[in-house]
Amino acid sequence: MASGGAAGEGEWLKVAQLRAAVEAQDAHAREVDNLTLRRFLRARDHDVDKAAAMLVKFLKWRRETAPEGFVPEAQVRRELSQDKVCMSGVDRAGRPILVAFPNRHYSANRDMAEFKSFIVYLFDKICARIPRGQEKFLAIVDIKGWGYSNCDIRAYIAAIEIMQNYYPERLGKALMIHVPYIFMKAWKMIYPFIDNNTRDKFVFVDDKNLQETLQREVDESQLPEFLGGKMPLVPLKDYVQQPHQAV
């Protein structure tokens, strides 16, 4: 299990070893900060060789996926128009909150290349909101109204693999709420593709425990209005931040 929290002297020593190993393979690694290196190290349970392989793969992928340093909005306009992801407030730990609505995603209308670009665009945006001193975000995934027309196993697996491989140690927790029974059949197909360090972060919340769980995680002032809080949702297409902050 990847450790969290503050790093000890031994961990920073491994970060230095990781930097040396990756810079020897890819000069672009010099631009990667130590906190990013630490996340990749933790994602591979402090195995420097495995973390180096993961990071080298990431650097190559990033250059190919976002050659300008970011995914242009025009590249994901159709995905953005569906309002399947919104920004909200912050949780009690100061982690920014992302709210997803899988019932607004239709497999028949999905173009996989655009969908993958959208996932990168989305993760870049939420990671840019993470404040100094915090490294993770909280996701609230509202599965209310989800049905077979929304079921898209290939897209779900693609999104999870992008998160695991290229945004390691960014997801703090994903609260899965209003979960219909039929969704669990899809989840059984997705689950084997989720790595051990990520599986525990998906928390399925019973309706009867929903308000108690939400209040434990998020103050009422920061909780989305549709869940009984006071924070309006901002669709991702309407969310504005400083242009192209570093991920």
- 196-219 pLDDT, tens digit per residue, is 989 999 999 999 999 999 999 999
Domains identified in the chain, total number: 2
The pairing of strands 234-235 and 171-177 is unpaired
φ/ψ of 162, rounded to 5, equals -60, -45
Mean pLDDT across 129-145: 96
Rounded CA-CA distance 2/40 in Å is: 10
Contact 178, 208 (CB under 8 A): no
What pLDDT is attached to residue 197?
A: 86
Structural domain for 125, as ranges:
73-238
Q: What tokens were used for 131?
A: 């404040």
On whether both 89 and 182 belong to a single domain, the answer is yes
Give the pLDDT mean for 11-35.
95
Q: Which of 65, 85, 111 is the last residue of a domain?
A: 65
Percent of the chain with pLDDT over 70: 94
Alpha carbon distance, N-terminus to C-terminus of the chain: 24
At 241 the pLDDT is 66
Question: Same domain, yes or no, for 82 and 107?
Answer: yes
List the structure tokens of 71: 């995914």
CA diameter of the chain: 54
Domain co-membership, 117 together with 229: yes
Confidence of residue 6 (pLDDT cuts 50, 70, 90): low
Which pLDDT band holds residue 8 (cuts at 50, 70, 90)? confident
pLDDT at 122: 97
174 inside domain: yes
Q: Based on the fold, state whether residues 118 and 195 are members of the same structural domain.
A: yes
* Residue 116 resides in a domain: yes
> Does residue 79 form part of some domain?
yes
Q: What is the pLDDT of residues 64-78, one digit of tens each?
A: 999 999 999 999 999
Global confidence as pTM? 0.92
Helices (H), 177-226: 181-190, 196-199, 210-217
Residues 221 and 142 in one domain: yes
